[in-house]
Amino acid sequence: MKAAVMRANHAPLVIEEVRIDDPGAGEVLVKTAASGICHSDLTAIEGGLPLPTPCILGHEPAGIVEAVGPGVTDFAPGDHVVGCLSASCGGCKFCAAGRPYLCPSQFEGRPGTEPWRLTAANGDLILQFANLSSFAEWMLCPQRSLVKIRDDMPLDRAALLGCGVMTGLGAVLNTVRVPAGASVVVVGCGGVGLAAVQGARIIGAGTIIAVDTQAWKFDLARRFGATACVDATGDDPIRAVHDLTAGGADFVFECIGLVPTVQQAVAMTGRGGTTVLVGVLPFGQTVPIATTDLTLNEKRIAGSYMGSNRFRFDIPKYVDFYLDGRLRLDEMISSRLALDQVNEAFDRMRKGEAARQVIVFPRGR
Residue 130 C-beta: closest distance to ligand NAD, Å: 11
| Residue 185 to residue 9: CA distance in whole angstroms | 33
Could you tell me which stretch among 26-34, 94-102, 111-119, 121-129 binds Zn ion (CB under 5 A)? 94-102
Which sign does the torsion angle of CA 157, 103, 286, 300 carry?
positive
Give CA–CA dist 346/12, Å, rounded: 9
CB of 134 to Zn ion, least distance (A): 11
Rounded to the nearest whole angstrom, what is the least distance from the CB of residue 170 to ligand NAD in the complex?
Answer: 9
Nearer to ligand NAD, 65 or 278 (CB): 278
Residues 297-316 that bind ligand NAD (CB under 6 A): 304-306
Going from the C-alpha of 139 to that of each of 176, 309, 357, the distances in angstroms are 33, 22, 19
Residue 288, φ and ψ in degrees, nearest 5: -70, 130
Query: Interior CA angle at 152 toward 195 and 77, to 5°?
Result: 110
Residue 19 in 3-state DSSP? strand
- What burial letters (b/e) apply to 54-73, b meaning 16+ CB within 10 Å? bbbbbbbbbbbbbbbbeebe
- Position 163 contacts Zn ion (CB under 5 A): yes
Q: Could you count the other beta carbons within 10 Å of the beta carbon of residue 11? A: 11
Build a one-symbol-per-residue string for 96-115: x at contacts with Zn ion by CB under 5 A, - elsewhere.
Answer: -------x------------
- CA neighbours within 13 Å on the CB side: how many for 82? 31
Using CB under 5 A as the binding rule, whether residue 89 contacts Zn ion is answered as yes
Instruction: Give the footprint of ligand NAD on residues 210-249 (CB under 6 A).
Output: 211-214, 217, 232
By beta-carbon proximity to ligand NAD, the closer residue of 127 and 163 is 163
| Minimum distance of ligand NAD from residue 68's CB (angstroms) | 28
DSSP one-letter string for 96-125: HTT-GGG-TTTT--S-TTSPPSEEETTS-E
Residue 304 touches which of Zn ion, ligand NAD, none (CB < 5 to 8 A by kind)?
ligand NAD
173, β-bridge pairs: none
Note whether 43 binds ligand NAD by CB under 6 A.
yes
Question: Can residue 106 be called a binding residue for ligand NAD (CB under 6 A)?
Answer: no
Pick one of 208, 278, 327, 333: the residue that binds ligand NAD (CB under 6 A): 278
Residues that bind ligand NAD (CB under 6 A): 38-40, 43, 163-164, 167, 187-193, 211-214, 217, 232, 255-258, 261, 278-280, 304-306, 349, 352
Q: By the criterion CB under 5 A, which residues form the site for Zn ion?
A: 38, 40, 88-89, 92, 95, 103, 163
